[in-house]
Structure 1
Amino acid sequence: MKKIKDSEVRWGILGVGNVCEVKSAPAMNIVPNSKLVAVMRRDEEKVKDYATRHGVSKWYTDAQALIDDPEVNAIYIATPPYAHAELTKMAAKSGKPIYVEKPMGRTFSECQEMIKACEDENTPLYVAYYRRELPHFLKIKELIDDGALGEIRTVHINLKQVVKPTVVANLDNNWRVNPQMSGGGYFFDLASHQLDLLDFFFGKITHANGYCSNQGGAYQAEDIVMGSFVFESGVLGSGNWCFTASASDEIDQVILYGNKGSIHFETFGKGEFTLKKENGELENFQFDLPNHIQEPLITTIVEDLLGKGTCNSTGETGARTNWVMDELVKQVV
């Protein structure tokens, strides 16, 4: 796989929306041997405003123009999922490494097309599942690998949210609940993080089955999903995602059960979790999270491209998460 011959990764971003304000793009100027040099958005006024506020010297309204910029040697695709496949294919032809937002695509099939496009040009493909590099999740992975839970038996996801009034009032501008743009609803946006994190902990999910429905009718996409899955290691899992719950029942909980203890954590909360030991003793862990939440993952990408390390969030792992989600929503009730 081709890496970068230069001593610095010089990023160009396709689609500088909200995710680029704090979460990702600013980190590209903080990570050693990394620099943001160009941004692109179709709306000229908005891309000029972004470039001015963030001190980026070059801006474009045409994706191909940014891809062809000789100063840019790595592409970050930060658009909604509907554009990921097309832009990845365009960028891959340049031979420049690609970092794409999550979920990787709208479907597993799109992810396969993206992987093939990059393989054909021998160029790296990374996916923005940044929780793989956050400190509390790295600690959980360490505890699992060191046997703190013994043999892992089951894992369970329970995510319940209310329908926010702003969602209903602004449907035309909310790509997250437009299946043509996102692949599905909030399940595709949020569960993708959870399922990828479990892939990081336990490896590939080989079997998945589920049911989905639109119970609330607030938007077109599914608003409830229930399912089960099996990891290649033999660990069994289940998930319950409901986005039309009561405010009193809102919850973000993942539990990992072993034969010597369990771990309880929130996917979208603070950098903390609880280890319940075999004797019933509870041990609480708390870690500070980075100001720019994608910085640790971007660091591994830069190090990988410069031959100084490795990144474990790739097109291959990102596609696996899309496959699981596709399987979980196959049966509509």
Structure 2
Amino acid sequence: MTEQGKIKWGLIGASNIAKQWLAGSINKHPACDVVSVYSRDEKRASDYARELKLQSYHTSLESLLADPDVNAVYISTTNDKHREEAIAAAEAGKHILCEKPLTLSAADAEAMVEAARKAGVVLATNHHLRNMATHRAIKDIIKSGELGEITSARIGFTVDLPGDLARWRLNDPSTGAGVVLDLTVHDVDLLRYYFDADPVAVTAMGLTSGRAPHGIKDNVMSIWEFPGRLLVVCQDTFLVPFGGTAVEIHGTKGSVHGADVLWQKPQGRITVRTQAGTRDVPVDHVVPYDKTIDDFVDAVRGRGKPSADGIDGLKSLRFALAATQAMDTGRTVRF
């Protein structure tokens, strides 16, 4: 039973993110072990299992989910497969950590949430930015009142997509390619985390570069309104190799600036500017996925909730899809 013994994980998808980040964070937790992987490609599955020193591999989802040694799964396949895999995992009694976006439609995300609820298993969304030490520090500063009334914010998720991540994200519309479901969905979750509120409106514009066929948007600007007449500008692009990433939160008494605080590496600098002057905020950087797994284990044990649960994943997807609607129609979408 996962309530007492070790939580043994199966990886659904032999992905780079699982290999580079999640498997390490899972194995680092004293109550967890990664034991198996599923990929339809037998060579990829066997090579992956050998490299990660896993006890088994599977070439069918049904086989992995029937494995009695697996009681939790991490889903990192392409977005179009998440719904089927998560619902099957829930029906097999496995706890689920799923990559963002949960899936490609709000209706499918609702079905995933309901399947997990019905099966009595944990469903978590891998919105890792909530667990970056930098963003936790920024939220603490916002909540302290030092900045006064928050009036505006900016997010710059400006990156050059690495080749190993660009394949389907720039080429396959059926998987939810483009920056909105890859980056803007993270922005929305981070803003909800900062402000403990949901946006009330969004407008957006997007363009397609020569790198992205099929009209896939790889350069998007969105403007979000939050309660309290708070406006946020988000720039999300795969076309900026040297811009870095940044967050700015502005209030009537001060501002907080975060530099190099998006993406995955535990890094970044926080600066606060007020009438008293400018100061740097010390940050003890940690791998964000470590806390993701800590909170997931607590949720499985019945003593807490995931860092971002299925409802959080559903909401971030729903708002990101609204940004796409605003972009496609040229109209502001109000919630």
- Shorter-chain TM band: 0.7 to 0.9
- Of 287, 303, 312, 2:307 maps to 312
For residue 228 of structure 1, what is the aligned residue in structure 2? 223
Matched AA of 1:263: V
The change in CA–CA distance for 1:91 and 1:125 in structure 2 (over 3 A counts) is same
Structure 1 residue 280, shift from structure 2 partner: 5.8
Which 5+ residue runs of structure 2 have no aligned equivalent? 331-335
For residue 31 of structure 1, what is the aligned residue in structure 2? 29
For residue 186 of structure 1, what is the aligned residue in structure 2? 179
For residue 325 of structure 1, what is the aligned residue in structure 2? 320
Q: Report whether the alignment pairs 1:150 with 2:148.
A: yes
Please, which moves more after superposition, 278-287 or 88-97? 278-287
Indicate the SS of the match to 2:46.
Answer: helix
Equivalent-residue separation in structure 2 for 1:281 and 1:274 (angstroms): 14
Structure 1 residue 123, shift from structure 2 partner: 2.2
The CA RMSD measured in Å over matched residues stands at: 2.5
The answer to whether the 8 A contact 1:263-1:273 is kept is no
For residue 282 of structure 1, what is the aligned residue in structure 2? 278
**Aligned residue pair count:** 323
**TM-score, with length taken from structure 2:** 0.87
Please, which moves more after superposition, 93-102 or 188-197? 188-197
Q: Report whether the alignment pairs 1:111 with 2:109.
A: yes
Equivalent-residue separation in structure 2 for 1:14 and 1:106 (angstroms): 18
Equivalent-residue separation in structure 2 for 1:274 and 1:285 (angstroms): 5
- Of 247, 253, 261, 1:254 maps to 247
- Of 2, 14, 17, 1:16 maps to 14
Matched AA of 1:198: L
The answer to whether the 8 A contact 1:272-1:285 is kept is no
The answer to whether the 8 A contact 1:205-1:231 is kept is yes
- Of 121, 130, 133, 2:131 maps to 133
Q: Write out aligned runs for 1:293-304 (5 A).
A: 293-304=288-299
Equivalent-residue separation in structure 2 for 1:49 and 1:150 (angstroms): 54
Per-residue CA deviation, residues 138-193 of structure 1 (Å, 9 max, x unaligned), is 111111111121221111123444587x58xx97xx11124534313133212222
The answer to whether the 8 A contact 1:23-1:293 is kept is no
For residue 91 of structure 1, what is the aligned residue in structure 2? 89
For residue 333 of structure 2, what is the aligned residue in structure 1? none
**TM-score, with length taken from structure 1:** 0.87
Percent of aligned pairs with the same residue?
25
Greater than 4 Å deviation, 4+ residue runs = 161-164
Per-residue CA deviation, residues 99-133 of structure 1 (Å, 9 max, x unaligned), is 10112222333322211222232322101111211
The answer to whether the 8 A contact 1:80-1:181 is kept is no
- Of 198, 201, 204, 1:207 maps to 201
Structure 1 residue 278, shift from structure 2 partner: 2.1
Indicate the SS of the match to 1:329.
Answer: helix
Indicate the SS of the match to 1:309.
Answer: coil
Indicate the SS of the match to 1:239.
Answer: strand
Which 5+ residue runs of structure 1 have no aligned equivalent? none
Structure 1 residue 233, shift from structure 2 partner: 5.5
The answer to whether the 8 A contact 2:170-2:212 is kept is no
